[in-house]
Structure 1
Amino acid sequence: MNWEFIRQSIPLYQEAFLLTLIIAFWGILGAFFVGLLVSVIRHYRIPILQQLSTIYIEFSRNTPLLIQLFFLYFGFPRLGIILTSQTCAIIGLIFLGGSYMAESFRSGFEAVPSSQIELATSIGLSPLQSFRYVILPQALAISLPSFSANIIFLLKETSVFSAVALADLMYVAKDLIGLYYETDEALFMLVIAYLILLLPISLAFSLIERRLRFAGFGNTSTLSGK
């Protein structure tokens, strides 16, 4: 193992790590809100929009992110729409992640006991207030394990961004391998970078899940008062 090469390559991985983190943050944040919107449309069965949301989910979940990125980066310019690599990466992550987040929200909404909604109505809460103060908080707590899995999945998917000339972690690793043939060292740094990115998030979500279970959240029998 060439430790001197690794030491000299650290600044390149630091820049790529920061870029990957920024894109992942905005992509996952956007996916969260898209998933919430789509799940609300499906949960309340809003005409026309419900059918469109179903088509979106099926199309998004059944096409690879790499193909979606190619369509954004190489296909859109033929329509007169030119997007930067970073914009394509963020949009692609939102498009893919939104469908997975929507399914997580859906399972959370369906797990909230109907008695909770009836109680909210009986004390005079409007449908919007019931959703905001009763349904949504419980659905978020119930769906937290699914959300954490989706976030980790989307972070791993950032490894394909190099296909649209984005200087992310994978791009730097492949570039170093092509230039210096230091394959082991480049891949070692890549693995370490993704561990630094993913491991704290995984541990943080595990801790939050344990605390929520201890507090009684995420258990439908507790929420229903049984």
Structure 2
Amino acid sequence: MIIEIYRKVVREINLDIIIEYIPLYIQAAGLTLRLGMGGILLALIVGFLSSLSQYYKTPLINGVFKAYTEVSRNTPMLIQLFFIYYGLPKLGIKVSPEVCAIFGLGFLGGGYFSEAFRGGLDSVSKSQIDAGKSIGLTRFQIMKYVIFPQALAVSIPNIGANIIFLLKETSIFSVIAIADLTHLAKDLIGIYYNTNEALFLLVVSYLIILLPLAIITTFLERKLRYAGYGV
């Protein structure tokens, strides 16, 4: 049954329409990637700072980051975007759709990256930290030379998985009128009714973006496993 549906859809796809739409999808993919990378970079910074605060149990700040992590991970990104885009202007803070998208993705991803980094930091044994102290390393040097390299190696598989997850979440950007891939597909379907071609190119576009990342993540995970990290 599924094979028959697949064959029917393929037969109905018009290659001329696909060729006509490809430049539009390339442009939309570029915007999706720029916003996605901006949000992911922000999420990495926020997540790392949050994990450090929780690792060192910084008074007050630790509680704030814990609350932030729970809120960011347990509320839908759609609601977060609506709050930033429609809620903040009520407080006198106006942001463009692009800035809203970056901050929304950063807010969501920061909570996930925080847990990824925190797991890596907690994996470093206390004996290695004590060894660093015994040779006179400062707290900063212990973090830089002992804890961070090992924590990063352990965290890389989770970081890669979260990057892929966040790039997929960029499909929600269309709800705040950003001309990303999903928004383009919806427009083409609504105006020209070329559903098969628009959805086919949408799927292919995300595969082109996400499949290489998935392959790289799997490769790194295997390399780290063979090296003895995270086991």
Query: Are positions 1:211 and 2:223 aligned together?
Result: yes
5 Å-filtered alignment, 1:147-226, equals 147-219=159-231
2:130 to 108, 118, 121: 118
Q: Deviations 1:158-197 (Å, cap 9, x if unpaired)?
A: 0000000000000000000001111111110000000000
Any conservation in 2 of the 1:138–1:218 contact (CA below 8 Å)?
no
Q: Alignment identity in percent?
A: 53
Q: What's the counterpart of residue 82 of structure 2?
A: 70
For residue 61 of structure 1, the aligned residue among 73, 78, 82 is 73
CA distance in 2, matches of 1:193, 1:130: 43
Report whether the alignment pairs 1:131 with 2:131.
no
Could you tell me the TM-score, scaled by structure 1's length? Answer: 0.94
Match of 1:38 in 2: 50
SS at match of 1:166: coil
Q: Is 2:157–2:220's contact at 8 Å kept on the other side of the alignment? A: no
For residue 212 of structure 1, report the CA deviation from its aligned partner.
Answer: 2.4
Q: CA deviation at 1:62?
A: 1.1
Aligned-partner Cα distance in 2 for 1:166–1:70 = 13
Which amino acid in structure 1 is aligned with residue 41 of structure 2? L
CA shift for structure 1 position 155: 0.6
Shift of 1:128: 0.7
- Aligned-pair CA distance for 1:3: 1.0
Aligned partners of 2:173 and 2:150: how far apart in 1? Answer: 35
**What are the Cα deviations for residues 81-110 of structure 1, in whole angstroms up to 9, with x where unaligned?**
111111000000100000000000111111
Q: Name the structure 2 match of 1:99.
A: 111
Give the aligned residue type for 1:87.
Answer: V
Please state how far the C-alpha of 1:72 moved relative to its aligned partner: 1.0
Give the Cα–Cα distance (whole angstroms) in 1 for the partners of residues 226 and 169 of structure 2: 32
Letter of the structure 1 residue corresponding to residue 33 of structure 2 = L
Q: 1:10 maps to what in 2?
A: 22
Following superposition, the deviation at residue 120 of structure 1 comes to 1.1
The gaps in structure 2 that reach 5 residues or longer are 1-12
Q: Is the 2:161–2:217 Cα contact (8 Å) retained in structure 1? A: no
Which AA in structure 2 matches 1:23?
Answer: L
Displacement after TM superposition at 1:148 (Å): 1.1
- Matched residues, number: 219
- Structure 1 residue runs without a partner (length 5+): 220-226
- Tell me, yes or no, if the aligned pair for 2:173 and 2:180 is still in contact at 8 Å: yes
Task: Flag as ranges the 4+ runs of structure 1 deviating above 4 A.
Answer: none
1:222 aligned partner: none
TM-score (norm 2): 0.92
